[in-house]
Amino acid sequence: MPDLPKAIVAISPTATELVYAVGGKVIGRTRTVNYPPEALEATDLGNAYQPNPEAILALEPDLVVADSTIHIAPDVRETLEGLGVPVIFAGAASVDEVLTGLTLLGEVLDNPDGAAAAVAAIEAARDAAREALAGQELSAVILIGDRDRNLYAAKGSSYGGSILDALGIANPADVQPDSGPFPGFTRVSPEALLQYDPVYIFTVTPAPPPAPRLSGMLGLFPGMSGLQAMANGRVIEIDVYLLVQAPGPRVVEAFATLVEAVTGSE
């Protein structure tokens, strides 16, 4: 690995945001990257879940930053490690892993002080958000849906679930086994949601507008009108990038968004 990489390719939104958070920049990024704005100037390398070796090598990078969460499959790792270019894996499957990823990138890009500052800012934002919600009996589920109108709730082992935990918000879905296509999520029926009856429901919709938002469709499911969150106007749509699609340094924004959702609906 070069002493200071200058031609960096990052092959997920998380990897890209980690690089920029510690003062780096990328020459190649994946299609769904939308932050920071300057990253959009980098070459689009396509799907983060199917890295294109030829497209990566065409940019002549001196470092590839892969995602330890989505590039975990042995065949993908083997392909990336066979590029003949230094590869590091950094991910953010939880709030704690965001801090670990920042520290790692700070070392690799020779900016440990910048990484430490970013870590401290996240920890301060977490503590402030937790304090803002202290003393309340809060429970919430994070819901995502699929094309077949199945619903899935985030567990504590998911990134979004770890955010609830960091803020001291009880998650009644956490005790259920993983099920369905989303890692760290469990399939949940309307009946189970009625049993959980969380104070808040935070919904995320993977499809971009004009696709309908899950928050607006939840009332179409049988029995949902019996949920206290529905009755009290506490079903709140959250940007999918903040809770699912781009785990990383913008966890600060996720903290603030959830605090605003709670305090603004009281």
| Of 253, 153, 255, residue with least CA distance to 204 | 153
Edge-to-edge strand ranges of the sheet holding 28-29: 43-44, 28-29, 8-10, 63-66, 87-89
Query: What is the per-residue pLDDT for 106?
Result: 97
> Two tokens at 46?
């396509």
Q: Which residue has the higher pLDDT, 10 or 146?
A: 10
Q: Which of 23-32, 143-152, 217-226 has the highest mean pLDDT?
A: 23-32
Cross-strand pairs, 236: 202
Longest Cα separation, the chain: 60
Model confidence over 177-195: pLDDT tens digits?
889 888 899 999 999 999 9
- How far apart CA 91 and CA 103 sit, in angstroms, is 12
User: What pLDDT score does 108 carry?
Assistant: 96
Whether the pLDDT of residue 3 is over 90: the answer is no
Mean pLDDT score of the chain? 95
Asked if the 8-126 domain carries CATH number 3.40.50.1980, the reply is yes
Identify any residues that bridge with 152 across adjacent strands, giving them in sequence order: 144, 187
Helix ranges (DSSP H) in the chain? 13-21, 53-58, 74-81, 95-108, 112-133, 159-166, 190-196, 214-217, 228-231, 240, 251-264
CA distance 144 to 38: 29
| CA 130 from centre of chain | 19
Over range 109-128, report the average pLDDT: 98
Determine which helix (DSSP H) or strand (DSSP E) holds 186, and give its type and residue range: strand 185-188
Look up the CATH number of domain 135-264: 3.40.50.1980
pLDDT band at 2 (very low <50, low <70, confident <90, very high): low
Q: What percent of the chain has pLDDT over 90?
A: 88
Task: Report the run of H or E that residue 203 belongs to, with start and end.
Answer: strand 200-204
Q: Please give the DSSP secondary-structure letter assigned to residue 88.
A: E
In which band, very low, low, confident or very high, does the pLDDT at 161 lie, cut at 50, 70 and 90?
very high
Distance CA 59, CA 115 (A): 26
What's the CA gap between 157 and 150, in Å, rounded? 20
Between the CA atoms of 6, 113, 158 and 43, what dihedral angle is there, to the nearest 10 degrees?
-20
Instruction: Note the pLDDT of residue 180.
Output: 84
Higher pLDDT, 38 or 72: 38
Q: What is the mean pLDDT of residues 221-240?
A: 94
Give the pLDDT score at 265.
60
Q: What per-residue confidence (pLDDT) applies to 223?
A: 85
The pLDDT tens digits of the residues spanning 67-87 come to 999 998 899 999 999 999 999
Residues facing residue 200 across a β-bridge: 140
Instruction: Note the pLDDT of residue 266.
Output: 59
pLDDT digits (tens, 9 = 90+) for 43-75: 999 999 999 999 999 999 999 999 999 998 899
Q: Where in the chain is CATH 3.40.50.1980?
A: 8-126, 135-264
